[in-house]
Chains A and B, each alone.
Chain A
């Protein structure tokens, strides 16, 4: 029979790509798990063999662990709140009819195209720098003699600002397309029903945006848990480092491959817990 043949043929035809994909994702994971249970420090090459769970234990015991975990959560949560709230407002603005709307929409998406390293450098050295920065210039213009050293005084907040700036366009764009898919007749019906602007936002628009907002939160959580470039480039890892940065410093500064692998695994598990929790919470609140 043709269908049975096609089925068997299909399986064989799929095999190479499945094999490559499996190798691609399983081999690194398997290696990481393997390393995580080894004594494997580049500065202590004599000391080898199985380490049991000690790599995991000492990663938890690292003086930076709890601080960096908190930083990770604050960075993700803060950026999500900023980009979703800002994204909704920006999307509402961009949904209006005004002259030059096409160009403005194009400009709004621009930050998303800029490499994280580049935008971090620009923000640190051109915008938030206490001497040369734009913000400092504005402060001096208003008569201040001691402009704020943003990355020095508020490292986590500053990194969050850079990251929010990068992700705001993404949220705004997704929400804008969702706004445009709102049925015209529903807007008319709301007008006939005497809905005020505020009630329209609350009862019609926000529920309509619930799903795209959930998508934005999910995607952003996945990416924001792994933020690294912005922290490394602005060299605030000691103050505003997250778990990704901690894994990096275990490998780079302490040259402990086993500990870094254990940290990586812990970070993955924590990331999954956080994202599952967030998405469920948001989904429930908005769709009810």
Chain B
């Protein structure tokens, strides 16, 4: 179990700067999630930690040891890939045993470890099948099995759930969290799905165009986003952004209010609007509202909300939950 430290890590492909310079400390036993839109450099950052890409400059330390020049295997990390990357011609047993075979571990120890891992992951009856004969979720488990038998210092996950269907994804999410709790291992997890990030992470690292925008616990990011980008990326549906006169009244270039922090009120609210369309989810209803100067807003209403398109409604934002941003997109915090 390990502390991973990135010091001014920089990655450049030709003229394209992928990571301009990242500093980050991943704590021992922490579940940390890199999240951001596609192309934000989160996978590259993970691959730099794994050693699968060479850094342009900077230093990576694992438990204080400088591993910048160390080959992937020497870093004692395990990785679970998006496509699972199982060896198709080997049985499940051989797939899981492969890293141990390469480490020249004695046969009987390998056998014991593989069977232990298989039992933990409910794979015992599939040990002699080939990956092609398994379902997506089972393949994912084999990939995890291959990662845990090595007893690595940390686990790296590169969008491991994005190839699974929605129901299975929720299950595997819980399984990975359970695994983290049981093993108390350091885990670095890359995803583009902010729901995955919010539910799984101890801390989230939000990336945009290779820059670390903010690092913090899920609730920190939700309650106190440092930048417009983080405010817009974390939370679903997206935060509403309002510019112009209404923002100026709050002494900001942009203000942001989450859909769940706007109430539909009877009588006169702060903003008046017309419902454009409604999305009913059962527990909630999301209203898309054309609200004059405030622009187009999304508002969360209770599930039994009965408003129809073209109804006029009054809206009242929670004043304590209005986020203010300056012209550079940085949060203005009044203290």
Contact = CB atoms under 8 A, between A and B. Distances in A.
B221 to A, nearest CB: 30
Given A188-B85, A193-B98, A194-B74, 18 more contacts: A183-B83, A185-B81, A185-B85, A188-B47, A188-B72, A188-B79, A189-B79, A189-B85, A191-B51, A192-B72, A192-B77, A192-B99, A193-B99, A195-B73, A195-B102, A199-B102, A203-B87, A210-B89
A203 B83 contact: no
Nearest to B158: A185
A195 B85 CA distance: 14
Nearest to B98: A193
Contact of B87 (A191, A204, A287): A204
Contacts of A208: 89
Contacts of B78: 192
Nearest to B100: A193
Given A199-B102, A203-B98, A192 B87 contact: no
A137 interface: no
Contacts of A210: 89
Residue from B71, B82, B98 having most chain A Cβ neighbours under 10 A: B98
A196 B99 CA distance: 11
A78 interface: no
A195 B52 CA distance: 13
B87 A186 contact: yes
Contacts of A86: none
B45 interface: no
Contacts of A191: 51-52, 71-73
B206 interface: no
Contacts of B103: 194
Nearest to B143: A189
A207 B98 CA distance: 14
A204 to B, nearest CB: 6
A193 B150 CA distance: 9
Contacts of A186: 85, 87
A285 to B, nearest CB: 13
Residue from B82, B87, B90 having most chain A Cβ neighbours under 10 A: B87
B190 interface: no
Interface in B27-75: 47, 50-52, 71-74
The A interface, classified by DSSP as helix, strand, loop or mixed, is helix
Nearest to B80: A189
Interface in A170-215: 183, 185-186, 188-189, 191-196, 199, 203-204, 207-208, 210
Contacts of A195: 73, 98, 102
A34 B89 CA distance: 49
Nearest to A200: B102
B19 to A, nearest CB: 18
Contacts of A193: 73, 98-99, 102, 146, 150
Interface residues of B, number: 25
B163 to A, nearest CB: 11
A188 B150 CA distance: 16
Contacts of A188: 47, 50, 52, 72, 79, 81, 85
Nearest to B77: A192
Contacts of B87: 186, 189, 203-204, 207
Contacts of B47: 188
Given A192-B50, A194-B73, A194-B99, A185 B89 contact: no
A196 B101 CA distance: 11
A191 B79 CA distance: 10
A186 B89 CA distance: 12
13 contacts: A185-B82, A185-B85, A188-B50, A188-B72, A188-B85, A192-B78, A193-B98, A194-B72, A194-B103, A195-B102, A203-B87, A204-B87, A207-B87
B72 to A, nearest CB: 5
A196 to B, nearest CB: 7
A242 to B, nearest CB: 36
A196 B72 CA distance: 12
A189 B81 CA distance: 8
Contacts of B74: 194
Contacts of B89: 207-208, 210, 287
A194 B79 CA distance: 12
Contacts of A203: 87, 90, 98
A188 B146 CA distance: 14
Given A186-B87, A204-B87, A287-B89, A192 B102 contact: no
Interface string B83-112: 101110110000000110011000000000
Contacts of B150: 193
Contacts of A185: 81-83, 85
A285 B81 CA distance: 30
Nearest to B76: A194
Contacts of A189: 79, 81, 85-87, 146
A287 B88 CA distance: 11
Nearest to B150: A193
A210 B72 CA distance: 28
Residue from A189, A191, A208 having most chain B Cβ neighbours under 10 A: A189
B256 to A, nearest CB: 38
A195 B146 CA distance: 14
Contacts of B73: 191-195
Contacts of B77: 192
